[in-house]
Amino acid sequence: MNRRYRKTIIAGNWKMNKTPSEARQLIDELKPLISKAKWCEVVLCVPYVDIPVALRALKDSRIAVGAQNMHHEESGAYTGDVSASMLKDLGVKYVIIGHSERRAYYHETDTLVNQKVHLALKTGLRPIVCVGETLEQRDQGVTLDLITVQVKAALSGVSAEKLRQIVFAYEPIWAIGTGRTATSEQAGEVGASIRTTIRKMYGARAARSVTIQYGGSMNAANAHDLLAQLDVDGGLIGGASLKAADFAAIVQAANQ
Ligand code: PEP
Mean pLDDT over the full length of the chain: 96
Domain 9-254 annotated CATH 3.20.20.70: yes
**CB burial of residue 206 (10 Å; 0-12, 13-18, 19+):** middle
Lowest mean pLDDT among 3-17, 36-50, 125-139, 150-164: 36-50
Residue 225: pLDDT band (50, 70, 90) is very high
Residue nearest to atom 4 of ligand 1 (CA): 238
> Best mutation site among 15, 43, 243, 250 for ligand 1, i.e. most ligand atoms within 8 A of its Cβ?
15
Mean pLDDT computed over 224-235: 97
Q: If you take atom 1 of ligand 1, which residue's CA is the nearest one?
A: 238
If you take atom 7 of ligand 1, which residue's CA is the nearest one? 238
Nearest residue (by CA) to ligand 1, atom 3, is: 238
Residues 6+ apart with CB under 8 A from 219: 181, 237, 239, 240, 246, 250
Nearest to 58 by CA among 38, 39, 82, 42: 42
Q: 98 φ, ψ to 5°?
A: 75, 30
Q: What is the mean pLDDT of residues 32-56?
A: 91
Return the amino acid letter for 102: R
Euclidean distance between CA atoms 114 and 128, whole angstroms: 12
Residue 91's H or E segment, with its range, is none
Tell me the domain boundaries of the chain. Answer: 9-254
The catalytic site residues sit at 99, 171
Say which DSSP state 219 is in. -
For residue 96, give the ligand 1 atom closest to its CA.
3
Residues 151/84/56/10 CA torsion (nearest 10 deg): 0
Distance 216 CA to ligand 1 centre (A): 5
Structure confidence by residue, pLDDT tens digits, 164-221: 999 999 999 999 989 889 999 999 999 999 999 999 999 999 999 999 999 999 999 9
Asked whether the predicted pLDDT for residue 36 surpasses 70, the reply is: no
Atom of ligand 1 nearest to the CA of 217: 10
pLDDT in tens, 106-157: 999 999 999 999 999 999 999 999 999 999 999 999 999 999 999 999 999 9
- Cα-Cα-Cα-Cα torsion 214, 253, 39, 17, nearest 10 degrees, comes to 60
Say if residue 37's pLDDT is above 80. Answer: no
* Pocket around ligand 1 at a 6 A CB cut-off: 13, 171, 176-177, 215-218, 236-240
